[in-house]
Amino acid sequence: MAAGPEALCEAASLASDWVMAAIVGAAGLKPTLKAVERGAVVGLANKECLVCAGSLFMAAVRDHKATLLPVDSEHNAIFQVFDFEQKDKIRKIILTASGGPFRTWALKDMASVTPAQAVAHPNWSMGAKISVDSATMMNKGLEVIEAHHLFGLDNDRIDILVHPQSVVHSMVEYADGSTLAQLGTPDMRTPIAYALGWPKRLPAPTGRLDLAQLGSLTFENPDMVRFPALRLARAALQSGGAAPTILNAANEVAVARFLAGEIGFLDIAAIVEHTMTRVPLQSITTLDDIMAVDGEARRVATVKNLSAAAE
pLDDT at 173 over 90: yes
Its pTM stands at 0.94
Amino acid at 129: K
CB 43 within 8 A of CB 20: yes
CB 11 within 8 A of CB 19: no
- The pLDDT of 182-191, averaged and rounded, is 95
- The pLDDT of 27-47, averaged and rounded, is 93
CB 50 within 8 A of CB 144: no
Residues 6+ apart with CB under 8 A from 21: 28, 31, 32, 35, 42, 43, 44, 45, 46, 49
> Which strands, in side-by-side order, build the sheet including 41-44?
18-21, 41-44, 67-70
- Give the residues across from 96 on adjacent strands: 161
Residue 265 CA to residue 109 CA, distance in Å, equals: 10
The alpha-helical segments, DSSP class H, found in the chain are: 5-13, 29-37, 48-63, 73-81, 107-110, 115-118, 128-136, 138-151, 189-197, 211-214, 229-239, 243-259, 267-278, 287-301
| Nearest CA among 303, 227, 308 for reference residue 265 | 227
Residue 90: helix, strand or coil by DSSP?
strand
Alpha carbon of 42 to those of 20, 25, 46, 151, 253: distances in Å? 6, 17, 11, 16, 27
Handedness of CA 241, 170, 82, 185 (dihedral sign): positive
pLDDT at 311 over 80: no
Which domains does the chain carry?
1-70 (3.40.50.720), 73-223 (no CATH), 240-305 (1.10.1740.10)
- The pLDDT of 242-268, averaged and rounded, is 97
Report pLDDT for 65.
97
Pick the range with the lowest mean pLDDT from 67-76, 126-135, 147-156, 250-259.
126-135
Residue 214 CA to residue 235 CA, distance in Å, equals: 36
Cα angle value 56/58/63 (rounded, 5°)? 90
The pLDDT confidence band at residue 307, using thresholds 50, 70 and 90, is very low
CB 233 within 8 A of CB 133: no
- The pLDDT of 73-82, averaged and rounded, is 98
Residue 94: helix, strand or coil by DSSP?
strand
Residue 107 CA to residue 258 CA, distance in Å, equals: 17
pLDDT at 264 over 60: yes
Report pLDDT for 305.
57
- The pLDDT of 281-304, averaged and rounded, is 92
What percent of the chain clears pLDDT 70, i.e. is strictly above it? 96
The pLDDT confidence band at residue 122, using thresholds 50, 70 and 90, is confident
CB 197 within 8 A of CB 246: no
- The pLDDT of 117-139, averaged and rounded, is 87
Query: Across all residues in the chain, what is the average pLDDT?
Result: 93
The pLDDT confidence band at residue 201, using thresholds 50, 70 and 90, is very high
Report pLDDT for 115.
96
Cα atoms found within 13 Å of the Cα of residue 209, Cβ hemisphere only: 15
Report pLDDT for 275.
97
pLDDT at 123 over 80: no
- The pLDDT of 289-311, averaged and rounded, is 79
